[in-house]
Structure 1
Amino acid sequence: MTPAPTTPAPTRSTEFCNNLALRKAARYLSATYDKALAPVGLRATQFSILQKLNAHGETTITSLADMIAMDRTTMASNLKPLVRDGLVTVEPSAADRRARIVTMTPDGHARLKAALPLWSVVQTRFEESYGADDAARLRAALAAVLDTGFQPWAE
């Protein structure tokens, strides 16, 4: 008789997986922000892109990807629906034809303006539930993750 297979006991590496914990929380919050922004036809990632463009003005796809901690190819894919909807333009750079410049259109500014109150409701609700000080510490801790020395998009 063959013994029944057993499931290995969780090890420290799986029981305390930083990646899983972070992704679970990110999916939870992303879905919450996505739901809140749906009435203006934006997803949380698109909202973040528009926020960065609003704050920094026109920029290259590569710079925008760096600002959001995303690889360039994924950023280019995320820009496609924004271009399709007339919220941003992507044009070759006059200085370097290999670079592509992303610019927010007047419709993009209007959509961001319409989205801000919806985003603000979720932001406020999260901070009330989680705690404003804890939320600030969470953002600081997550920002520090970006300085741990990994190079996920290096070629």
Structure 2
Amino acid sequence: MIRHLEEIMARSERDALASCNNLALRKAARYLGATYDKALAPTGLRATQFSILQKLSTEEQTTITSLAEMIAMDRTTLATNLKPLAREGLVTVEPSPTDRRARIVTITEDGLARMKAALPHWRRVQAEFEASFGADRAAGLRAALEDVLGTGFQPWAE
């Protein structure tokens, strides 16, 4: 009887792992993230840093809070990711002149140049992924992942 219950529990745990959305998403994110990190390595940027610079290149300036919302990252993690970019002179992070509690993030000319130098590496790995996975499936994946952001959870709400 106990052995039977243990088998049922073990099967239940396996089923939970096999159907865990979070685990599946994180596995794929680590796999794809490492692929993009490897492709961008010659530029000295990690994929997350590239994404931050890319987003900042479309904004004149923005607050840490706004940038965190744009890339779906909590403010503390974003601030941690901005530190090496600021040390290298790729971004500036300064107090807002209108609200001393807010920090304004701006991409520098060096940051823009580094992002542009990384763009061909990003384009190459992007094209390789789409060739392997399928361009339509990749577009569908991006759309589905974007839909995840509209599920109503408040992961960073205080």
* TM-score, length-scaled by structure 1: 0.94
Task: Give, as a single letter, the amino acid of the residue that structure 2 aligns with 1:75.
Answer: L
Structure 2: stretches of 5+ with no match in the other structure: none
CA distance, structure 1, for counterparts of residue 66 and residue 18 of structure 2? 36
CA RMSD of aligned residues (A): 1.6
1:9 to 2:6 alignment: no
Aligned-pair CA distance for 1:13: 3.1
Match of 1:36 among 26, 35, 39: 39
Aligned partner of residue 9 in structure 1, secondary structure: helix
Aligned-pair CA distance for 1:56: 1.9
Residues 114-140 of structure 1: CA distance to partner in whole angstroms, max 9, x if unpaired?
Answer: 000000000000001100010000000
Give the corresponding residue for 1:63. Answer: 66
CA distance, structure 1, for counterparts of residue 61 and residue 126 of structure 2? 26
| Paired positions, count | 153
Task: Give, as a single letter, the amino acid of the residue that structure 2 aligns with 1:118.
Answer: H
1:118 to 2:121 alignment: yes
Residues 44-94 of structure 1: CA distance to partner in whole angstroms, max 9, x if unpaired?
Answer: 000000011001221000000111100001100000000001000000001
Residues 6-65 of structure 1: CA distance to partner in whole angstroms, max 9, x if unpaired?
Answer: 461135433200000000000000000000101010000000000110012210000001
Give the corresponding residue for 1:102. Answer: 105
Give the corresponding residue for 1:51. Answer: 54
Within a 5 Å distance, the mapping from 1:67-78 to structure 2 comes to 67-78=70-81
Task: Give, as a single letter, the amino acid of the residue that structure 2 aligns with 1:46.
Answer: Q
1:145 to 2:154 alignment: no
Task: Give, as a single letter, the amino acid of the residue that structure 2 aligns with 1:9.
Answer: R
Match of 1:128 among 120, 128, 131: 131
CA distance, structure 2, for counterparts of residue 61 and residue 13 of structure 1? 37
Task: Indicate the structure with greater helix content.
Answer: 2
Paired-residue identity, %: 71
Structure 1: stretches of 5+ with no match in the other structure: none
